[in-house]
C-alpha cells in the first residue's frame, strides 16, 4: 500500500495549516490574549481561517488517500490533491483579504472544496 501522491498534498496542507496557525499566534502575542479574540475582527478572521482549514482537511485528504490506495489513476489523485490545496489557499486568501466578508476567492475556494468532496464521495460509492 503506497500513498505517495496523497503524501505530497497532505504535506502541502500541513504547511498551510502551520502558516495559518502562525498568523493566529502573532495576534495572540501582540494582543496578549490566550483564549478568544478580544473583539478584534482581523484576529477573529485569522482564527476562523485556520479553523476552516482544520475542519475541511481531514475529510478531503482522507477521501483522496482512499482513492489512491484503492487504485485510482495517478492523474485523478493529483488533480484532486492539487485542487484541494489550491482551493484552500484561495479560501484562506479571500477570507483574510475580505476580513470575513464576501470574496470571489473565498466563494470559489469553499464551493470548489464542496464539489471536490462530493465528487470523491460519489467516486467511492459508485466506482
Q: What angle do CA 86, 84, 14 make, to 5 degrees?
A: 85
Q: What is the mean pLDDT of the segment spanning 28-48? A: 95
pLDDT at 42: 96
Q: What is the mean pLDDT of the segment spanning 44-54? A: 97
Comparing C-alpha atoms, which of 122, 127, 107, 120 is closest to residue 80? 120
Comparing C-alpha atoms, which of 79, 71, 59 is closest to residue 2? 71
- Each residue's pLDDT tens digit, 57-86: 999 999 999 999 999 999 999 999 999 999
**What three-state secondary structure class fits 89?**
helix
pLDDT at 1: 78
- Each residue's pLDDT tens digit, 86-125: 999 999 999 999 999 999 999 999 999 999 999 999 999 9
The sign of the torsion formed by the CA atoms of 32, 36, 40, 41 equals positive
**Percent of residues, the chain, with pLDDT higher than 70:** 100
CATH: 1.20.120.550, 2.40.50.140, 3.10.150.10, 1.10.10.10. Which one for 4-126?
Answer: 1.20.120.550
pLDDT at 7: 98
Where do the structural domains in the chain lie, given as residue ranges?
4-126
Amino acid at each position: 500500500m503506497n500513498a505517495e501522491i496523497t503524501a505530497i498534498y497532505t504535506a502541502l496542507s500541513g504547511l498551510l495549516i502551520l502558516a495559518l496557525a502562525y498568523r493566529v499566534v502573532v495576534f495572540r502575542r501582540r494582543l496578549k490574549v490566550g483564549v478568544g479574540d478580544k473583539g478584534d475582527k482581523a484576529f477573529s478572521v485569522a482564527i476562523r481561517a485556520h479553523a476552516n482549514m482544520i475542519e475541511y482537511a481531514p475529510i478531503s485528504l482522507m477521501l483522496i488517500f482512499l482513492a489512491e490506495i484503492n487504485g485510482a489513476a495517478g492523474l485523478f489523485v493529483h488533480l484532486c490533491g492539487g485542487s484541494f490545496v489550491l482551493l484552500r489557499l484561495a479560501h484562506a486568501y479571500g477570507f483574510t483579504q475580505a476580513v470575513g466578508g464576501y470574496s470571489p476567492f473565498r466563494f470559489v475556494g469553499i464551493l470548489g472544496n464542496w464539489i471536490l468532496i462530493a465528487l470523491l464521495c460519489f467516486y467511492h460509492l459508485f466506482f
